Amino acid sequence: MAKNYTIVIIEDDPLVNESVQNVLLSKYTRVEAFTDPNEGINQLHKIAPDLLVLDIFLGYANGLDILEQLRKQGYTMPVVIMTAFSDIKMAVRAMKLGAEDFIVKPLDLDQLEVTVERALRNYELKRKVDLLSEQIKKEQPDEIIGNSIGIRKALELGKLVGKTEDTTVLIYGETGTGKELMAKYIHDNSPRSNGPFVSVNCGAIPRELAENEFFGYEKGAFTGATEKMRPGKFEQAQHGTILLDEISELSMDLQVKLLRVLQERRFYRLGGTKEISVDVRVVASTNKELEALVEEGKFREDLYYRLNVAKIILPPLRDRGEDTLQIATAFVSEFNKKFGKNTKGFDNDATAIILNYPWKGNIRELRNAIERIILMENKELIDAEALSFLRGLSTMSTAKTSNAEAMIILPPGKHYLKVSVTGASYNEVSKDLLEQVLKIVKGNQIKAAKILGISRAKLRYRIEQLAINPTGKGFE
């Protein structure tokens, strides 16, 4: 099966030109050949090749001059030079100017195949390394951690979708739930895993610069556009995956242009007159309900249907039960290494807080909290006091309190409980609260979880942890 790459050949000898073209056509989906160097150079904008095969001596033109000119104009695709044996010194000079490799005439066609394939592979690896260098500064865990039902379903669907070549994916999840990590998981489990993974935060780009960021520009497109050509994020993601994070923030104008890219895999650079073709998988993510935005006229319905081919929902941290502690423990290990600390984990009270705190910022908020604690504290075990800075934690989250009782108002405001907290630990207070709620609902754990605003899995975990007997006296 031919690989989805575009190759351009510039060789003025018709017989050599045809031979090279025939060999490469058996391996790649598109091969364009030119005997006139000027014609070939003028078509590069339109063709946007993945690789250029270039002869050094082209009659009135010199391949070295062409190579130097292309690099100055911003073309970064690999160039394979063809040269006669006596011109080895010129081939070495060509590589100093930015050629990827060279082959010697008379051509060995098997060597030509190997050289082109190696040049394409090396170029993809270089692009991937460049992108990873940018992404390494981002603060996120290296893998998706957890075994809760919701995250298992998301991972299963992500792996299934990943096996396809270019199925568009829409990822839903609150802020900080790991949407970019899921998109990277899909990419890594796909046939495009050797290609680049490019992430674009649609909400962080000024509206007037968004088109430039997505599609690139050509010289003169706007004040300051002095380069001949600058590729945008879609071109950077060629043969890989592009993540459009927070897709709901796109302007209506850009939504129209994005729809066309999804439909035709073609676009114009800003200020350009020739279409560019791209081969990318598009993954979009959002923390908003796109269907509601469609009804409000804030998001295009046709774009929504284009994006909503495969839908993955990432659960919030508060619904992931013991995953929260597992993730927090992984962060402890990460920041121990970063700050040279030796924190062992969490004591019982801190564990209870980690499992019951709402974590509105989800994994991102949890990560920031653990980073702060490891940096500031030198305790062997993280305790409740170390977590006291978390917003919304009442005095009952610390080891002791001066109040004799705390008034707990349970949603939806129908039940009022008095919980004794004098000299009590967080676990003791939690146990008292859970026992009273279970008594109200006569041991019905589904109703109890709903009243407490937590998942049933988390309720079961706390019942077991606190040694509560939900079928005991008074619960029937």
Q: Identify the top-confidence range among 227-231, 264-268, 404-408.
A: 264-268
- Inform me whether the pLDDT recorded for 275 exceeds 70: yes
Model pLDDT, residue 97? 84
Model pLDDT, residue 138? 47
Which residues, at least 6 apart from 454, have a Cβ–Cβ distance to it below 8 Å?
Answer: 318, 356
Same domain for 89 and 167, yes or no, is: no
Q: Is residue 435 part of a domain?
A: yes
What would the mean pLDDT of 263-277 be, rounded to a whole number?
84
Instruction: Give the 3-state secondary structure of residue 58.
Output: strand
- Check: CB of residue 185 under 8 Å from CB of residue 155: yes
Model pLDDT, residue 400? 37
Q: Is residue 41 part of a domain?
A: yes
Same domain for 245 and 296, yes or no, is: yes
Model pLDDT, residue 309? 92
Task: Burial-class residue 346 by CB neighbours within 10 Å (0-12, 13-18, 19+).
Answer: buried
Instruction: Give the 3-state secondary structure of residue 188.
Output: helix
Q: Tokens in use for 17? A: 């030109």
Model pLDDT, residue 299? 95
Q: Is residue 163 part of a domain?
A: yes
Which residues, at least 6 apart from 180, have a Cβ–Cβ distance to it below 8 Å?
Answer: 140, 199, 243, 245, 285
Same domain for 382 and 412, yes or no, is: no
| Strand ranges of the sheet holding 281-286, from the earlier edge strand across to the other edge | 197-201, 241-245, 281-286, 169-172, 310-313
What would the mean pLDDT of 268-292 be, rounded to a whole number?
88
Q: Identify the top-confidence range among 133-137, 331-335, 427-431.
A: 331-335
Model pLDDT, residue 222? 56
What would the mean pLDDT of 270-282 be, rounded to a whole number?
85
Q: Is residue 221 part of a domain?
A: yes
State how many domains the chain has.
Answer: 4
Its pTM stands at 0.62
What would the mean pLDDT of 11-25 be, rounded to a whole number?
93
- Inform me whether the pLDDT recorded for 272 exceeds 80: no
Q: Is residue 140 part of a domain?
A: no
Question: Picking from 258-267, 302-311, 384-393, which range would have the lowest pLDDT averaged per residue?
Answer: 384-393
Model pLDDT, residue 438? 85
Model pLDDT, residue 140? 45
Q: What whole-number distance in Å separates Cα of residue 387 and Cα of residue 266? A: 51
Model pLDDT, residue 471? 62
The residue range of the domain holding 32 is 3-132
Same domain for 268 and 371, yes or no, is: no
Same domain for 214 and 241, yes or no, is: yes
Same domain for 155 and 267, yes or no, is: yes
What would the mean pLDDT of 267-293 be, rounded to a whole number?
88
Task: Return the residue matching tokens 């700050």.
Answer: 339
- Check: CB of residue 380 under 8 Å from CB of residue 394: no
* pLDDT > 90 in the chain, percent: 45
Q: Identify the top-confidence range among 162-166, 217-221, 409-413.
A: 162-166
Same domain for 374 and 336, yes or no, is: yes
Question: How many helices (DSSP H) and strands (DSSP E) are in the chain?
Answer: 18, 20
Query: Hey, what amino acid is at 363?
Result: I
Give the pLDDT band (50/70/90) at residue 141: very low
Mean pLDDT in the chain? 83
Model pLDDT, residue 227? 56
Same domain for 153 and 300, yes or no, is: yes
E strand or H helix at 28: strand 28-34
- Check: CB of residue 51 under 8 Å from CB of residue 42: no
Same domain for 229 and 266, yes or no, is: yes
Same domain for 298 and 361, yes or no, is: no
More confident residue, 333 or 126: 333
Q: Is residue 472 part of a domain?
A: no
Q: Identify the top-confidence range among 127-131, 208-212, 354-358, 462-466.
A: 354-358
Same domain for 173 and 252, yes or no, is: yes
Q: What whole-number distance in Å separates Cα of residue 72 and Cα of residue 70? A: 5
Give the pLDDT band (50/70/90) at residue 411: very low
Interval 89-140: pLDDT, tens: 777 788 888 888 888 888 899 999 999 999 998 888 887 776 665 554 444 4
Same domain for 305 and 451, yes or no, is: no
Q: What whole-number distance in Å separates Cα of residue 309 and Cα of residue 181? A: 19
Give the pLDDT band (50/70/90) at residue 221: low
Residue 333 main-chain phi, psi, to 5 deg: -60, -45
Interval 144-174: pLDDT, tens: 888 899 999 999 999 999 999 889 999 999 9
More confident residue, 323 or 416: 323
- Check: CB of residue 397 under 8 Å from CB of residue 383: no
Model pLDDT, residue 86? 64
Model pLDDT, residue 335? 93
End residue of a domain, out of 314, 338, 370: 314
Q: What whole-number distance in Å separates Cα of residue 6 and Cα of residue 11? A: 16
Residue 233 CA, distance from chain mean position: 13
Interval 335-393: pLDDT, tens: 999 999 999 889 888 898 998 899 999 999 999 999 999 999 988 899 988 998 888 66
**Domain CATH number, residue 111:** 3.40.50.2300
Q: Is residue 457 part of a domain?
A: yes
Interval 25-53: pLDDT, tens: 999 999 999 999 999 998 888 888 999 99
